[in-house]
Amino acid sequence: MKGTYTTIPNDYNLLEEVGYGVSATVNKAIYLPNNHVVAIKSLDLERVNRNLIFRIEVDMELEIWAI
């Protein structure tokens, strides 16, 4: 289920890690304004190559999915 969420870090309570890859970690979180459980993907920009960082900066879009 896709919803409308903010990009304000204090609106989220990060919980346990639910997945990871070479350059990112996914955490379960609570979106505090409506108490929805969501997944937050965090990129480790030190591990991402320069071309991908450029694409992320150009195409950046925040996607938060209720789970």
- What are the 10-residue block averages of pLDDT along the chain, 67 residues in total? 80 94 88 93 74 53 53
- At 58, list the tokens: 């150009």
Residue given tokens 């309570």 in the structure block: 13
The answer to whether 28 is a known ligand-binding residue is no
- Can you tell me the distance from the alpha carbon of 22 to that of 3, in angstroms, rounded to the nearest whole number? 27
Q: Please give the model's pTM, rounded to 2 decimal places.
A: 0.66
Instruction: Look up the CATH architecture of domain 9-66.
Output: 2-Layer Sandwich (3.30)
pLDDT of residue 14: 94
Q: How many CB atoms lie within 10 A of CB 12?
A: 19
Which residue ranges make up each domain of the chain? 9-66
Identify whether the C-beta of residue 36 lies closer than 8 Å to the C-beta of residue 66.
yes
Number of CB atoms found within 10 A of residue 32's CB? 13
pLDDT for res 58: 45
